[in-house]
Amino acid sequence: MMVLCLDFGNSQLKYACLDNDQLVTSGFLNEAKFSCIYPICQNYPIDSILLSSVIDVPTDLIHALQEIAPFHQLSVNSRTEVNYQEYDKSSLGVDRLAIAEGAQILYSGRNHLSICLGTCITYNWIENGYFKGGAISPGLLLRTKSMHDYTAHLPVITQQRDFPLFGQSTSSNLLAGTMYGTLLEVQGYITELRKQDPSVIVLLCGGDAPYFISKLSGWDVHLEADLIWKGLGALARLN
C-alpha cells in the first residue's frame, strides 16, 4: 500500500511516500498547491493520502487530493493507537499526534518520551500506551530571532553543531545561551522523567535534532529522523 503523507508545518511543507511502512521518497514543497503535489502522484502509484497540517489548507487543494485517492485529513477525531483517556486530545496539535503515534508503533509495550526539535520544541510522554502529558518551548529559530527582534542591538546568529558553554563575544554568548541552553533543557527533561521511570525510552526527532544528538551520546537517546512519517503512515492505515 503506497501512502502519500503530507506534513504542512509552520515553517516547512513536506511530503513522503511510504510503501508498507518503508520510506520510498521524501522532500519539500514550495507551496500548498496541487500543482506542486501532482508530479509526485504521477511518479508513484498512490493508494491513499493523509494530510497533517497546522496551517489553513486551501479547499481546492483538498478537493483535488480527494480525486486522486482515498483521503484523510488528520484531526483530533482521527483514530489512534495511543490512548488519550487521561489527556485533552483536542488541545494537541496534529503534528504531535503523528509523533506520538510513530513512537507508539516503534516502541509498543514500552514507555517513551519523544522530543521534537522543530519550530517549537515539543515533549510527548506516553506511559503504558496512555498519553500522560507534554511540554512546549521555543525552538532554536524562535529563540535566536526573538532576541534580535525584541532588543535594539543583539544580532541574529546562525545555529551551529559546535557551541560553547560560555562565549567570549556577543555572538558567542548568544550561541551559548541558545544552543547550550536548549541542550540543558532537553537533558533536564530526560533527567527528571527518568527519576520517575528509569526505563523510559527517549526519542529525538525534528529538523534541529542533528545539532544535539552527538552532545547526547551516553544519554541513551535514539535519533528517529523519520518518526513523524512512520506515525503518519500508521495513522493512514487506521483511518
Per-residue pLDDT tens for 28-48? 999 999 999 999 999 999 999
Q: Quick one: 21 and 67 in the same domain?
A: yes
CATH number at residue 106: 3.30.420.40
Which among 47, 73, 99 is the end of a domain?
A: 73
Together in a domain, 103 and 25: no
- pLDDT higher than 90, residue 12: no
Residue 54: DSSP 8-state: S
Residues 26 and 126 both lie in one domain: no
110-155 pLDDT tens trace:
999 999 999 999 999 999 999 999 999 999 999 999 999 999 999 9
- Among 95, 149, 197, 208, the active-site one is 95
Among 153, 149, 187, 150, CA closest to 173: 153
Q: Which residues contact 71 (CB under 8 A, 6 or more apart)?
A: 48, 49, 50, 51, 62, 65
Tell me: pLDDT of 9 over 90: no
Answer yes or no: is 20 a known binding residue. no
Residue 9 marked as a ligand binder: yes
Provide CB contacts within 8 A for 196, sequence distance 6+.
none
User: Which domain covers residue 132, as residue numbers?
Assistant: 89-140+168-227
Residue 50, Cα to own-chain centre: how many angstroms? Answer: 16
- 65 with 93, same domain: the answer is no
Q: Is 59 found in the same domain as 103?
A: no
- Rounded CA separation 120/189 (Å): 15
Domain count, the chain: 2
8 marked among binding-site residues: yes
User: Is residue 226 annotated as part of the catalytic site, yes or no?
Assistant: no
Establish if 78 belongs to a structural domain: no
